[in-house]
Amino acid sequence: MKKITLWLIGALFVQIGWAQTWQSKFVSINENQQLEYKSDAEGNIIPDFSRVGYASGEKPIPEVQVVEIVEPVAGDNLKNIQNAIDKVASRSLDANGFRGAILLKKGIYNVNGSLLIQKSGIVIRGEGPADNGTIIRETATKQIDLILIKGSGTLQKNEATKVKISENYVPVGRNYIELTATSSFQVGDSVLLHRPATDNWIQDLKMDQIEERDGTIQWNASGYHLYFERIISKVDGNKVYLDNPVVMQMDQNYGGGYLIKYHFNGRIKNCGIENLRMESTYQSATDENHGWNAINFSKVDQAWVQNVVSKYFGYSCVSIDSNSRNISVLNSQCLEAKSQITGGRRYSFDCNGQLNLFKNCYTTEGRHDYVTGSKVLGPNVFTQCKARNTHADIGPHHRWSCGTLYDLIDTDGEINVQDRGNWGSGHGWAGVTQVVWNCRSSRTAVQSPWVSGKNYCIGMIGGKYSGRLAGRPDGEWEGINQQGLQPESLYETQLKNRMLSNGISQNMPSGKLQVYPNPSKGQIYISHKETALYFNFYSLIGNKIKSGIISESPFCLNIKNVVDGIYLLECFSGNKKYTQKIILNRSL
């Protein structure tokens, strides 16, 4: 009797737990276990944010071979480390686009100045961010970047290739446009999706009517021409398909849009900073003459930061400029900033470029911890990040950021997407197509601009308020303080859904790791040559079904109790990750 009672209680608990889950009306999981997007009357949907970060999320961060080793020395280590960087810069790129990694052995490296990377394919790697790991200490007594990864040149538009969009309206979330002519475009071309600004657009946004105070600058159309970087994935008649979706409406009433080829030859790529701690010396809690950015990316493509900690810097752990793209910032922390607590300071993880990913980051004592600046063009993603002891808010900071996902953000401060009015020199509407998904905050304001799109707040746990300026249109709110939103992470589910649908396999090298049989009737074997290997087994929508240690080779993973269908197997060891689509079919 006791066993039956316990079983009934357990069954009731499962039923209650299941009843508490819910799905958004904007993005849901259909009967085929795939994501389904519901459009509004104009055809707009929440975009697919999954093609951000290094290699668009389709490859793991590479483990680049060490070619230089540096030990700490007494006194200033600037020249010692810079010499190693310059030595690696003189090497030729290998077949994968890398020159090599510099290993900074354990210890404290005092540095008075900036470490500068100006060539592609260079990685700086430490032996961990702990007290007994690798610590680079900035000792300068002026505002300075500790590590500056910097390309050269400027983006060059090929105006002769400019072609007008033939449609009257292109909705958000779509991955193609229709042109008046497509003969000059082909698959693989780097293109700019150009959304011009017009006077009537500024007027309808009411950004020429910002309440004046000292220093307020009304918006002017000439400053709001937007250029979204894309790559052509397909040309079909008059349709051109793009690798990333449209994240701002293209409306002929406001100038329509164009497609233009471009190049940016001076950008560098394939650079990384890994496994170390960066500190700044300082004179007091409000000192402003010391290290400012721990890591600064300028004119960089396809790069990463992982497993780093910054302490005591005045501005950020990582700052990405508007000329940088496809950068992943993973498993990193920005702690105990030292500066005045006022404008232009403590932007812990600062994104101004396109197609960037910030995942599993943590901050303390910041102001704008996960933030975008003026005219930041997405998609960009902040996911699974926390902020504690905050002094301001998270979200788009000013002047029309387009296409950002705030996914599973947990803050004791605020998350705001709003008309910021005359703050700063006239911040105005901070952004459009801003999606706040399954987040926690003390209070949140999400407004939608007067024209040109919507902002979304779905599954927010915390208080809702009307924002700084009353009377603005409310955003699309759904499920406030309703726990159990599925999928839990929109980004992770979009990524896994896309990879499974496209059959993408991440770095599954022949001979090093093999998975068989596939398709399977209920057991799969994993043969490998790694010293330590772990696995996750996911459903098509990204729900984790099994995980554990792969203890021997071959290792047998029993999935007989899992229903037939398509799944995703992740195996990982250190910086390496192997991903394989698994088909389970007992009728074979």
pLDDT tens digits, 272-331? 999 999 999 999 999 999 999 999 999 999 999 999 999 999 999 999 999 999 999 999
Give the per-residue pLDDT at 564: 84
* pLDDT tens for each residue of 88-106: 999 999 999 999 999 999 9
Q: Left (φ > 0), alpha (ψ -120 to 50) or beta: where does 430 sit?
A: alpha
Q: Supply the DSSP symbol for 413.
A: S
pLDDT of residue 158 exceeding 60, the answer is yes
Range with the poorest average pLDDT among 52-56, 505-509, 518-522, 578-582: 505-509
Q: Please state, as a whole number, how many other Cβ atoms lie within 10 Å of the Cβ of residue 39.
A: 14
- pLDDT confidence tier of residue 568, bands split at 50, 70 and 90: confident
Q: SS3 for 547-561, per residue? A: EEEECCCCEEEECCC
Average pLDDT (344-364) is: 98
Q: Which of 398, 469, 482 is nearest to 440 (CA)?
A: 482
**From the CB of residue 71, how many other CB atoms can be counted at a distance below 10 Å?**
12
CA distance linking residue 440 with residue 409, whole number of Å: 6
CB contact at 8 A, 367 and 345: yes
**pLDDT at residue 508 in the model:** 53
Beta strands in 331-446 (DSSP E): 333-335, 349-351, 357-359, 362-364, 370-372, 377-383, 386-388, 393-396, 401-407, 410-411, 414-417, 431-437, 440-446
CATH number of this structure's domain 156-263: 2.40.30
Measured in whole angstroms, the distance separating CA 139 from the mean position of its chain's CA atoms is 31
Query: Domain 507-584 is of which CATH architecture?
Result: Sandwich (2.60)
Q: Model confidence at 13, in pLDDT bands (50, 70, 90)? A: very low
Mean pLDDT of 412-433: 96
Domain 54-153+267-486 classified CATH 3.30.540.10?
no
Of 56, 248, 85, the residue nearest 171 (C-alpha): 248
CB 116 within 8 A of CB 81: no
Average pLDDT over residues 15-20: 48
The first and second tokens of residue 364, run together, are 């303390």
- The pLDDT value given to residue 2: 40
Higher pLDDT, 504 or 43: 43
CB distance 408 to 429 below 8 Å: no
| Region 54-69 average pLDDT | 94
Is 251 a residue whose pLDDT tops 70?
yes
pLDDT at position 7: 35
Distances (CA, A) of 207 to 96, 234, 426, 451, 462: 47, 37, 9, 11, 30
Strands (E) located in 139-219: 144-150, 156-164, 169-170, 176-178, 190-195
Query: Residue 16: pLDDT above 50?
Result: no
Computed over every residue of the chain, the mean pLDDT equals: 92
Quote the CA–CA distance of 298 and 325 in Å, as a whole number: 9
Domain with CATH 2.160.20.10 in the chain: 54-153+267-486
| CA–CA separation, 142 and 475 (whole Å) | 42
Of the candidates 305, 240, 234, 296, the residue with the CA atom closest to the CA atom of residue 275: 305
**Confidence at 59, pLDDT banded by 50, 70, 90:** confident
- 506 pLDDT higher than 60: no
Per the CB < 8 A criterion, the answer to whether 342 and 368 are in contact is no
pLDDT band (50, 70, 90) for residue 534: confident
Q: How far apart are the first and last CA of the chain?
A: 42
Sheet holding 523-528, edge to edge: 513-516, 523-528, 555-558
The mean pLDDT of 502-507, rounded to a whole number, is 59
Tell whether the model's pLDDT for residue 17 goes beyond 60. no
pLDDT at 559: 87
Distances (CA, A) of 486 to 27, 360, 458, 491, 567: 9, 19, 11, 12, 18
Stretch 57-61: mean pLDDT: 90
pLDDT attached to residue 162: 97
Q: Could you give the percent of the chain with pLDDT greater than 90?
A: 79
In the predicted model, is pLDDT for residue 135 greater than 60?
yes
Residue 485 host element (H or E):
strand 485-486
For residue 3, pLDDT beyond 50: no
Which letter does DSSP use for residue 472 in this model? P
Strand partners for 401: 431
Which pLDDT score, from 0 to 100, does residue 503 have? 63
* Phi/psi-derived region of residue 180, left when phi > 0, alpha when psi is between -120 and 50, beta in every other case: alpha
Distance CA 278, CA 139 (A): 11
pLDDT tens-digit series, residues 366-421: 999 999 999 999 999 999 999 999 999 999 999 999 999 999 999 999 999 999 99
Beta-strand pair 333-335/300-311: parallel
pLDDT at 566: 81
Residue 36 has pLDDT above 80, yes or no: yes
Exposed/middle/buried for residue 420 (C-beta within 10 Å: 0-12, 13-18, 19+): buried
Query: Quick one: 525 exposed, middle or buried, by C-beta within 10 A (0-12, 13-18, 19+)?
Result: middle
The string of DSSP codes covering 218-279 is ---GGG--EEEEEEEEEEETTEEEESS---S-EEGGGT--EEEEEE-TT-EES-EEEEEEEE
Using pLDDT thresholds of 50, 70 and 90, give the confidence band for residue 8: very low
pLDDT at 234: 97
Model's pTM, two decimal places? 0.89
Confidence band, pLDDT 50/70/90 cuts, at residue 15:
very low
Residues of the chain with CATH 2.40.30: 156-263
| Burial category of 541 from C-beta neighbours within 10 Å (exposed 0-12, middle 13-18, buried 19 and up) | buried
The arithmetic mean of pLDDT across residues 421-433, rounded, is: 96
- Residue % of the chain over a pLDDT of 70: 94
CATH 2.60.40.3080 residue ranges of the chain are: 507-584
Residue of higher predicted confidence among 371 and 32: 371
